[in-house]
Amino acid sequence: MSLAQGRHYLAIPGPSVIPDRVLQAMHRPAPNIYTGELVEMTASIVRDLKAVARTKHDVAMYISNGHGVWEAALVNVLSRGDRILVLGTGRFCLGWGEVAKAMGVETEIIDFGIESDVDAAQVETALRADTEHKIKAVLVVQVDTATSVKNDITSIRAALDAAGHPALLMTDNIACLACDEFHMDDWGVDVMVTGCQKGLMTPPGMGFVFFNDRAAALRDSAGLVTPYWDWRPRANPEEYYKHFFGTAPTHHLYGLRTALDMILEEGIEAVWARHETLAGAIWAALDVWGQGGDIRANIAEPSKRSHAVTTVRMGSGHGQRLRTWLPDNLGVTLGIPLGPGRGGDTSPENLFRIGHMGHVNGQMVMGVLGAIETGMRALQIPHGAGGLEAAASRLAG
């Protein structure tokens, strides 16, 4: 007998659960890519992506994953030898900085470790020290998917403003767009990158770079720009072909159109609130389990945790035992730890991640938590009693 028979739940932080509606929208023959429905649909996708990002500025779409749009964002505003400030809070912004460095950009790194968010005061100090304004851009993730920390983008904007520094503020929202609250224009973000396979609930394969007029103005002098990654024709195409510098990702566009319909039907504020409540249920269970065992959320302060992903610490190697037991025994897959982080206990056997981004509801979260509690019983992992009750109380409101 296996209790893993039935619909498997891939509770990893991307790719996220793809809604049946999205899958069905993609199940069709190839459309004409020169005129007709696809062309009109693409215009509506551009409009709605901007609504989700809360920007009136431009978006360039790419056939690419997140790593591709990291590069796209950099090449349109930087030249070889330029300097940038990289704010590390785990894995992903450091990764973005490594890409920049490999392209000949000088990187200054402030690393806040793997259990903290960005301290804006330190950013302000670094920017004030740059009296010649050599730093062209500040790179930060809103959510680091390795540590599940959420950075306060408004405080980083305020640090730039307080220092009177003209550097661009560039954010990676790949993990959390349409999960955690975000307002590109109101928060003063100049460039934002994201992908389609997390909060946007579409199979991996499309990436987006949003950029405002300040960033757009730098495109002319950006020495790193190459034809494929150039955002200008993509954001302002005279011919449909220029949206993608070649054949459009036809089926992804159908899927994405449907995913955006789902987000807009629910309403972006309701989407954010759903993620917040579901995350709260997970944290409530962790708190209770932690009262009788070595289990806790990686980020101590709840207001600094993402609503899209939770990194969990479970000591004595239990994290890995639980994570390996669950798929074959109960049909749930949790996220692997991601490293290498710096500082703190980064042993992979003591960490796992729960993805709760995108197409996730109350019963799915209760199912994951129930599976985790069942696994802890089966593996005799010590934990406080009553985690599921705490989660249920949170969802019951």
Binding residues for ligand PLP, per CB under 6 A?
Answer: 14, 65-67, 92, 141, 145, 172, 174-175, 195, 204
The residue (of 174 and 332) whose beta carbon lies closer to ligand PLP is 174
Tokens of residue 338, six digits: 């991601």
Nearest-approach distance from CB 66 to ligand PLP, in angstroms: 2
Q: Which is nearer to ligand PLP, 172 or 373 (CB)?
A: 172
Complex with ligand PLP: residue 70 or 231, whichever CB lies closer:
70
Q: How far is the CB of 284 from ligand PLP (least distance, A)?
A: 24
Q: Which is nearer to ligand PLP, 66 or 255 (CB)?
A: 66
Count other C-beta atoms under 10 Å from residue 306's C-beta.
Answer: 27
In the complex, the smallest distance separating the C-beta of residue 96 from ligand PLP, rounded to whole angstroms, is: 7
Neighbours of 390 (CB within 10 A): 18
CB of 225 to ligand PLP, least distance (A): 20
Find the shortest distance in angstroms from Cβ 141 to ligand PLP: 5
Please report, as a single letter, which amino acid is at residue 310.
T
Identify the bridge partners of residue 351 per DSSP, sorted by sequence position.
Answer: 313
- Residue 10 or 39 having the CB closest to ligand PLP: 10
Is the CB of residue 286 less than 8 Å from the CB of residue 383? no
User: What's the rounded Cα separation, in Å, for the pair 199 and 197?
Assistant: 7
* In the complex, residue closest to ligand PLP by CB: 66
**For residues 96 and 325, which CB has a smaller minimum distance to ligand PLP in the complex?**
96
Shortest distance, position 144 Cβ to ligand PLP, whole Å = 6
Q: CA 355 to CA 306: how far, in whole Å?
A: 10
Minimum CB distance to ligand PLP smaller for 33 or for 94: 94
Least distance (Å) between residue 72 CB and ligand PLP = 12
